[in-house]
Amino acid sequence: MFEIIVAGGWLMVPIILCSIAALAIIGERFWSLRQDKVTPKNLVAQVWHWRRNNQLTPERVLALRNSSPLGRVLAAGLLNMAHSREVMKESLEETGRQVVLELERYLNTLGTIASISPLLGLLGTVLGMIKVFTAITTQGVGNPGVLAGGISEALITTAAGLTVAIPSLMFYRYFRGKVDALVLKMEEEALKLVEVIHGEREAGDSAG
């Protein structure tokens, strides 16, 4: 393996660094974007239970905020539940935008790695071909070892670049879809909270 890396030339160094960064991002995103971590089940039901039993204390709202991204969004709504439905929705949307940015953390970097890795491989191909033609110009075609070295460098860097780029692109697309699904789930839960709070209030006003 080390001989192959050496044969690929100096461009193997940034390609290897890209592969390490991609692996770190993929592992971190798999851990951070787990559904039970981002959108725990029955969170709105728990909030409604607290409110119905007059247990919705500032301490519980703070704990909710720190529990998960969804909890952070719901806590923003609870802090504004005394205001109108529109104000409450605006607070949820504003916090939701901040949470989405956190869910998308490092994804642009992963996408960049997927884009530049094949270009680094292509650059290695070009440099390898330049080495081949330079050897032909100076030594003719009588030295197959020099020609093989240039061709080997070209093929190794191309293969290495594609080996990094293909899985990086696959996981970039996967995580993008995962974030979209989680954001949709958070929006649904946030709307449930609005309906629970203001639906209960409007029912009380009608009864009064």
The tens digit of pLDDT for each residue in 24-76 reads 999 999 999 998 999 998 888 888 888 888 888 888 889 989 989 999 998 98
Rounded-to-integer distance, Cα 121 and Cα 184, Å? 38
Under the banding of pLDDT at 50, 70 and 90, the label for residue 125 is confident
Handedness of CA 111, 112, 113, 116 (dihedral sign): positive
**Half-sphere exposure (Cβ direction) of 28: Cα atoms closer than 13 Å:** 14
More confident residue, 148 or 171: 171
Counting residues of the chain whose pLDDT is more than 70, the rounded percentage is 87
Burial status of residue 27 (CB atoms within 10 A of its CB: 0-12, 13-18, 19 or more) = exposed
Under the banding of pLDDT at 50, 70 and 90, the label for residue 178 is very high
pTM of the entire structure? 0.82
Q: What is the pLDDT of residue 31?
A: 94
